[in-house]
């Protein structure tokens, strides 16, 4: 008798754009439930392309499976309910008049009634430190608030896997620390694509290095990012700052 399939399984994933440029060239990757994995690499390594393949926007049918289901028709709707994708630019994710409407959009489309949706919205906004923002106009929020609201829009759907594309881009030190606490406190599995190596160190036990569309390293975060020669070969920071203590909770700190 075989066990349950992994939460995410990618086998031989290859994707080339219309001009022939190969973005992904035979990627294999596996994530289990609750696992937090950092995805790092230089510009053009294929990180954003890989995240889009998780929800069937790009990529060949069958190369990506979520809980055993291929990220392709006729399973796309079910797969997209299992993967919460947070785009690099929160303005690509927030399109409703208020924060409440943005967060409620997913649960309502899942068929939840009004009371259940309101409960999901309150829970998700509280999780990202935006309780009381329900009536605020999404487009009037600060950059950090928009990023946290974008995370709330997927948390409200309770997916077992969150995939985030450069979530700390443009954030100041306080917002980055708040984001790290949020990610550490999540029960969901995490695939965090980022150039922010301190954020990856603070939130992810495992790190995958992608370069030229291929996985070139995969292992414990401290072991992978602690290899200076590896970092230099693959366009990562030559020096890493001293590791900060791992965030303990999502509670607000000064």
C-alpha dihedral over 163, 168, 169, 172, to 10 degrees? 170
Is residue 249 situated within a structural domain? no
204 located within any domain: yes
- Find the CATH number of the domain harbouring 217: 3.40.50.300
Mean pLDDT along residues 174-195: 92
Residue 121's pLDDT is: 97
Tell me the residue range of the domain where 76 lies.
Answer: 8-89+161-233
Residue 101 lies in a domain: no
Q: Cα(12)–Cα(214) distance, rounded to whole angstroms?
A: 10
Instruction: Quickly state the pLDDT bin for 252 (edges 50, 70, 90).
Output: very low
How far is Cα 54 from Cα 49, in angstroms, rounded to an integer?
9
Mean pLDDT computed over 164-170: 91
Q: Is residue 136 part of a domain?
A: no
Question: For residue 253, what pLDDT is reported?
Answer: 45
Q: How many domains does the chain have?
A: 1
Question: What pLDDT was estimated at residue 249?
Answer: 53
Give the separation between CA 59 and CA 33, rounded to whole angstroms: 23
Instruction: Look at residue 206 in the predicted model and tell me its pLDDT.
Output: 98
pLDDT digits (tens, 9 = 90+) for 30-60: 999 999 999 999 999 999 999 999 999 887 7
CA dihedral 63, 187, 159, 73 (to 10 degrees): 10
Torsion sign across C-alpha atoms 69, 71, 76, 79: positive
pLDDT at 63 over 60: yes
Asked, for residue 253, whether it belongs to a domain, the answer is: no
In a domain, 133, yes or no: no
The C-alpha R_g of the chain, in whole angstroms, comes to 18
Q: Is residue 150 part of a domain?
A: no
Which pair of tokens denotes residue 192? Answer: 């965090």
pLDDT of residue 251: 47
Kindly give, in sequence order, each residue whose CB lies less than 8 Å from that of residue 138, ignoring residues fewer than 6 positions away: 94, 95, 96, 97, 98, 99, 101, 102, 146, 149
| Residue 245 pLDDT grade (very low, low, confident, very high; cuts 50, 70, 90) | low
**Does a structural domain hold residue 247?**
no
For 134-163, the pLDDT digits (tens) are 999 999 999 889 999 999 999 999 999 999
**For 182-220, what is the HEC assignment?**
HHHHCCCEEEEECCCHHHHHHHCCEEEEEECCEEEEEEE
Q: How much is the pLDDT for 62?
A: 74
* pLDDT reported for residue 254: 38
Confidence band, pLDDT 50/70/90 cuts, at residue 124: very high
Model confidence over 70-114: pLDDT tens digits?
999 999 999 999 999 999 999 999 999 999 999 999 999 989 999
Residue with the bigger pLDDT between 126 and 20: it is: 126
């Amino acid at each position: 008798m075989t066990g349950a399939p992994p939460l995410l399984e990618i086998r031989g994933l290859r994707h080339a754009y219309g001009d022939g440029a190969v973005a992904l060239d035979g990627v294999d990757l596996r994530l289990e439930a609750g696992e937090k994995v950092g995805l790092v690499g230089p510009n053009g390594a294929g990180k954003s392309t890989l995240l889009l393949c998780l929800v069937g926007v790009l990529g060949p049918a069958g190369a990506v499976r979520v809980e055993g289901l291929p990220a392709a028709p006729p399973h796309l709707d079910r797969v997209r309910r299992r993967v919460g994708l947070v785009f690099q630019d929160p303005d690509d994710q927030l399109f409703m008049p208020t924060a409440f409407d943005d967060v409620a959009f997913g649960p309502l489309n899942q068929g939840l009634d009004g009371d259940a949706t309101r409960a999901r919205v309150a829970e998700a906004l509280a999780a990202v430190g935006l309780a009381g923002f329900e009536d605020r106009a999404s487009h009037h929020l600060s950059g950090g608030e928009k990023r946290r609201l974008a995370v709330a829009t997927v948390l409200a759907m309770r997916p077992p896997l969150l995939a985030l594309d450069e979530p700390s881009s443009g954030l100041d030190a306080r917002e980055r620390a708040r984001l790290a606490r949020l990610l550490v406190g999540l029960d969901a599995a995490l695939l965090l694509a980022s150039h922010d190596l301190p954020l990856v160190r603070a939130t992810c036990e495992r790190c995958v290095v992608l370069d030229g569309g291929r996985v070139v390293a995969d292992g414990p975060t401290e072991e992978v990012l602690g290899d200076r020669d590896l970092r230099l070969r693959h366009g990562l920071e030559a020096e890493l700052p001293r590791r900060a203590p791992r965030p303990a909770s999502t509670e607000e700190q000064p």
